[in-house]
């Protein structure tokens, strides 16, 4: 979990600010139960965490719309009908992970192999991230993994190693002396790498089994293909895994995000906040 409440400009300049790169598709992995949060969720899936009147996945979809992405696939599993009732009216396609209780995120990603056909954003459903993180991803070239160099020391963190700006390792088991930060859980892959990414996913599923995480395929891909590491240190975000993460999201991350939302924010159904970012305005009034 990122523990930085401040908002500064300490980011890795490996992108071209203002040069928006077209991204056509996005995948949100939302099949899991969120067992560690269930005391707070009362049986709801983790993607339906309440954030100031919005579901967490609604905010993620809003940010993807902000990037101009309209083709969004949500991999569902636990309480699939409930999740579909939220995301399908927003124009999302849903793919069902029928064996969600016996698999992890790699299998959910692999299920999208016939749907993904262009440059796409990959996101976990439990990430609350500031709009600047999404914007920086949009302005970056090629394959990109966002990471936080001020985090990554806890056992549960998905750690990364970065060498000369490129991802060289991603695992929870990286020795602390080699850790360069924590994977944020929001990535981008260009169209040219899609077949290779899903080939790596299939390899790992066949050799290591269904309980592998999506980062295992990303790490294997990084051995042969350059994946740029983009450091978002100091920009508010949180992966919501535990009750303390949820508290941090409400007390630290959401107030910073809310500064980018117009006072005209409405919680009416099918209406989205007006988002300001780099003097750009985008109004969401349904899809």
The CA distance from 110 to 202, in Å, is: 7
* pTM for this entry: 0.87
Q: Which of 103, 100, 46, 18 is nearest to 243 (CA)?
A: 46
Share of the chain above pLDDT 90, in %: 72
Give the pLDDT confidence score for residue 259 in this predicted structure. 83
Share of the chain above pLDDT 70, in %: 84
Give the pLDDT confidence score for residue 5 in this predicted structure. 52
Give the pLDDT confidence score for residue 39 in this predicted structure. 82
Structural domains in the chain, sorted by start: 25-261 (3.90.550.10)
Give the pLDDT confidence score for residue 278 in this predicted structure. 35
Give the pLDDT confidence score for residue 8 in this predicted structure. 38
Give the pLDDT confidence score for residue 115 in this predicted structure. 98
The CA distance from 224 to 148, in Å, is: 23
Give the pLDDT confidence score for residue 175 in this predicted structure. 96
DSSP for the chain, please give it: --------------B-TT-PPP--EEEEEE----GGGHHHHTT--GGG-EETTEEHHHHHHHHHHHTT--EEEEEEBTBHHHHHHHHGGGT-EEEE-TTGGG--HHHHHHTTTTT--SSEEEEETTEEE-HHHHHHHHHB-SSEEEEETT---STTS-EEEEETTEEEEEETTS-GGG--EEEEEEEEE-GGGHHHHHHHHHHHHHHH-TT--HHHHHHHHHTTS--EEEE-TTS-EEE--SHHHHHHIIIIIHHHHHTTB-TT---STT---EEEETTEEEE-S--
Q: Which of 44, 46, 42 is nearest to 34 (CA)?
A: 46
Give the pLDDT confidence score for residue 18 in this predicted structure. 57
pLDDT tens, position by position, 115-147: 999 999 999 999 999 999 998 888 888 999 999
List of the chain residues with pLDDT < 50: 6-16, 264-287
């Amino acid at each position: 979990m990122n523990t930085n409440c401040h908002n500064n400009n300490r980011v890795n300049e490996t992108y071209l600010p203002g040069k928006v790169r077209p991204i056509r598709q996005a995948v949100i992995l939302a099949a899991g139960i969120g067992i560690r949060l269930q005391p707070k969720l009362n049986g709801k899936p983790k993607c339906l965490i309440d954030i100031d009147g919005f579901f967490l996945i609604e905010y993620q979809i809003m940010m993807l719309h902000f990037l101009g992405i309209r083709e969004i696939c949500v991999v569902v599993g636990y309480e699939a009908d409930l999740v579909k009732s939220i995301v399908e009216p927003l124009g999302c396609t849903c793919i069902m992970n029928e064996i969600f209780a016996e698999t992890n995120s790699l299998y959910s990603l692999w299920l999208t192999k016939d749907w993904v056909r262009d440059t796409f954003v990959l996101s976990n459903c439990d990430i609350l991230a500031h709009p600047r993180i999404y914007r920086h991803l949009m302005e970056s070239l090629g394959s990109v993994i966002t990471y936080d160099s001020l985090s990554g020391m806890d056992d549960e963190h998905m750690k990364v190693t970065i060498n000369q700006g490129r991802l060289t390792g991603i695992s929870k088991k990286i020795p602390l002396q080699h850790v360069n930060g924590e994977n944020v859980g929001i990535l981008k892959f260009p169209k040219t790498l899609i077949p290779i990414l899903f080939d790596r996913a299939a390899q790992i599923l066949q050799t290591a089994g269904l309980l592998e995480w999506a980062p295992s395929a990303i790490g294997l891909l990084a051995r042969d293909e350059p994946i740029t590491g983009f450091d978002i240190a100091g920009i508010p975000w949180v992966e919501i895994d535990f009750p303390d993460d949820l508290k941090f999201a409400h007390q630290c991350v959401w107030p910073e995000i809310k500064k980018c939302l117009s006072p005209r924010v409405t919680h009416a159904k099918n209406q989205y906040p007006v988002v300001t970012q780099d003097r750009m305005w985008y109004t969401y009034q349904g899809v």
